[in-house]
Amino acid sequence: MELRQGEHLVFHGHPSWRAILSFYLKGLAIAVVLGAIGWLAGSAGLGIAIAAVLFAIAVIVGFIKRIATTYSITNQRLRIRRGIISRSVQETRVDRIQNVNTEQGVLDRVLQVGTVDFDTAGTDDSDFAFRGVAQPEKVSRRVEQALHEASQAQMQSQQQQGLVAAPPPPPPAPPASA
């Protein structure tokens, strides 16, 4: 991700490996069932080979799926990048975020993963979410940090342009008593 002038990275990551455990378990179940069929139809060696190859494929596909998804938060924008060969990029400005919601099911809470869902102003893109991130509350706090930094930068810019009056100086300190 190329950063713009005055922009800095607040969060950068991928879905957690714990978030794709269910994918691995499904792959294992399919590998065992098809391996058992191979065992019954042919030999034990054939069944074991089928199960091992299928589970290896599931692990590789899960790993690629996880690595091919990147989530980034800067003080100016949010970005989701998916894909290796073909690529999909979703991006929104931080100042367009209206709500940040986190969601965790029971298993997600045990695994400490979840989804951080963003509602943005003026878009119909209802699927702007960081799915399977580790510790979604921390990611949500990083977004709040980015929102705060963006609003501070906007206020400073407006003050420099004379669009907004500078905040009044703090009241003088009371005289020290002896």
Domains delineated in the chain: 9-160 (2.30.29)
3-state DSSP assignment of residue 4: coil
pTM of this structure: 0.76
| pLDDT tens per residue, range 78-120 | 999 999 999 999 998 888 888 899 999 898 898 899 999 988 8
Cβ atoms < 10 Å from Cβ of 119 = 14
Backbone angles phi, psi at 134, to 5 degrees: -75, 140
What distance in Å separates the CA atoms of residue 25 and residue 134, rounded to the nearest whole number? 19
Evaluated on CA atoms 35, 40, 46, 48, the torsion sign reads positive
Q: Are strands 9-13 and 69-74 parallel, antiparallel or unpaired?
A: antiparallel
Percent over 70 (pLDDT), the chain:
88
pLDDT of residue 53: 95
Q: How is residue 175 annotated by DSSP?
A: P
